[in-house]
Amino acid sequence: MGNEKVLIIEDNELNMKLVRSLLQLGKYRVFEADNAEKGLQLMRANRPDLVLMDIQLPGMNGLKATQIIKKDNDLKHTPVVALTSYAMQGDEKKAVSAGCAGYITKPIDTRSFLDQIQKFIKHDAQETKAPNSDRPASQNSTCAKVLIVDDEPKNIKLLSAQMPPSEFNIISAHGGIEAMQKINDQHPDLILLDIMMPDMDGYEVTRRVKANPATKEIPIILITALDSKDDKVKGLEAGAEEFLTKPVNMAELRTRINSMLRLRQYRDQLKQRIQSEQNFTSSQKPRVAEQEPQDRPCVLLVEDNEKDINIIRCFMQDQPYELIVCRDGEEAIMMARKGAIDLILLDIMLPGMDGFDVCRNLKESDETKHIQVVVITFLTDLESKIKGVEMGADDYLIKPIDKRELAARIKVLLQKKAYLDRLHSHYEMALTSAIKDAPTGLYNHVYFKQFLELEVKRAIRQEYTTALIMIDIDDFKRFNDTYGHLTGDRVLNAIARVIKDNVRETDLPARYGGEEFAIVLPYSDSTGAETVAARIKRDVQLIDFPCEPADKPSKITVSIGVAQCPLNADTADKLIQRADEMLYQAKNEGKDRIRVCAGEVSN
């Protein structure tokens, strides 16, 4: 999955919405038509990898449309899967006779839908490799490295199929001993771990990983056929971050994987930032002691059912955080905006504004977007979970809630919130004068160099990409001569604000010197960096100064160069040089443009 295109031909809006949501969750590119004629046009224009065809369509029915597809030399190799509510004896035979590759009955089984779809889309590379071998490493080194441990090769293949090569590099192990060797040798970003294995079970692997300082922060998701609460508690107490029961709901698995990988990135980036700051300040002045937060984390429960409120209050009595309660969405948003809320347990079924709208509102606001949100509901259908994730929820739980699972989810998300908060302000507040450029509020040149050197070394060691953007204001000297240095300073500040508005918490924006800026983008390649650069270039052109007409500056533009490590350079100095070369190429070609380095590193 990842790049495959799926065409849905369906006239029922609710069915279309459900299928679309499931496919988008599986990272498919989706095209839609509400009748056969439009579907055939889209098929010829976009050449999808799979067609999901409703049988009962207005006008031309799905069977007739399938027959047309199978007679067209350009379209006949595309598999067509029939979708219909009429699962009567003989329907499947009719669909196959018309040329359909298979048959899915409505109402759709959301648990197995993506697995069914995957079977119909051909993966030549997957078909030719042995099921128990590691997947060849993707050329895109922004991919997360995931270790799948299971003594059953079919399970490894099934899980691998859910993780597109464009996003994941898969390593496999078939027992606990082999897993320990690969964990110590290859340091994966995430481990999917079976429990019942013959040589060393998953509990023991988890305990050993978490006891080793070099590996203890690798997230572990236990995946097992054991389904008792005691088994789940045993896994979480061994140190695993997550516990999923077979057969695995693939939508839930992807949600958990994404959550764990984000946590790992925040944690690694915080360590990198702190190490860089400590190295930088060690020769400047005595080290500033790291201060842990004194206040207990604050959890807000948004729930209108008194029975559920009392249950969760009882669950959380012995937990190391403060619990406060409100009973509707509007009040929840007001309390979140006042600050001091770290995590929200959010019921979906609320009076007035429902939980989905509350979540979207929180995640769209700069004041509240880092608050971790767990949606809680009686709804067991996958569509409600998907919607929660689409609204920006960080996790979800289904009632009735298990006390220990609730505690485990809260623990992981509070860690993530703490990493975000510290990335945002912890060391920066203590060391602003040493590492910041006072006029712009960005990091200064010396600190940028220190950080980039550490980041490049770590990127090469851990096999991921780091990108560098270099930005220069076009004709800034002439601008200063025309409008004066005070106006020039205002331009520098305005561009600094644009840069800060367009980067992530894990990125490092700096003033490189004079009218030149730099941005380090960990876990990003040149394509991602070019997207960021394009937004910055666009927003710089939109800068408006409230001046008198005679003093109003002309349009401001920037030239931008982009390079990435390790493809273009294997040291910090070389990476700066390559990005700088691209910057000056942009200047020489007429300014107000972006140039991206394409050449590989050379010695």
The DSSP secondary structure of 485-527, one letter per residue, reads: HHHHHHHHHHHHHHHHHTS-TT-EEEEEETTEEEEEEET--HH
CB atoms within 10 A of CB 162: 19
Spatial separation of the C-alpha atoms in residues 268 and 419, rounded to whole Å: 9
Spatial separation of the C-alpha atoms in residues 95 and 65, rounded to whole Å: 11
Whether residue 589 contacts residue 596, with contact meaning beta carbons closer than 8 Å, is answered with: no
Residue partners of 400: CB distance under 8 A and separation at least 6 = none
Give exposure, 197-233, as e/b (b: 16+ Cβ within 10 Å).
Answer: beebbbbebbebbbeeeebeebbbbbbbebeeeebbb
Spatial separation of the C-alpha atoms in residues 208 and 33, rounded to whole Å: 53
Sheet holding 466-473: strands in order across? 508-513, 516-522, 466-473, 558-565, 594-596
Mark whether 515 is an active-site residue.
yes
Residue partners of 432: CB distance under 8 A and separation at least 6 = none
Reading the block at residue 554, the tokens are 């002309």
Residue partners of 474: CB distance under 8 A and separation at least 6 = 556, 557, 558, 559, 587, 591, 592
Whether residue 381 contacts residue 353, with contact meaning beta carbons closer than 8 Å, is answered with: no
The answer to whether the peptide bond before residue 566 is cis (omega within 30 degrees of 0) is: yes
Whether residue 224 contacts residue 202, with contact meaning beta carbons closer than 8 Å, is answered with: yes
Residue partners of 453: CB distance under 8 A and separation at least 6 = 571, 572
DSSP code of 120? H
Q: Helix (H, G, I), strand (E, B), or coil: what is residue 30? A: strand
Spatial separation of the C-alpha atoms in residues 201 and 196, rounded to whole Å: 5
Rounded to a whole number of angstroms, the distance between the first and last alpha carbons of the chain is: 37
Query: 3-class secondary structure for 240-306?
Result: CCEEEECCCCHHHHHHHHHHHHHHHHHHHHHHHHHHHHHHHHCCCCCCCCCCCCCCCCEEEEECCCH
Residue type, 461: R
Spatial separation of the C-alpha atoms in residues 493 and 150, rounded to whole Å: 54
Catalytic residue among 515, 516, 530, 548: 515
Residue partners of 182: CB distance under 8 A and separation at least 6 = 147, 171, 173, 188
Residue type, 389: V
- In which element (H, E) is residue 472 found? strand 466-473
Residue carrying structure tokens 């899967």: 81
Residue carrying structure tokens 């859910």: 162
CB atoms within 10 A of CB 296: 12
Residue carrying structure tokens 């569509």: 383
Cite the active site residues: 515
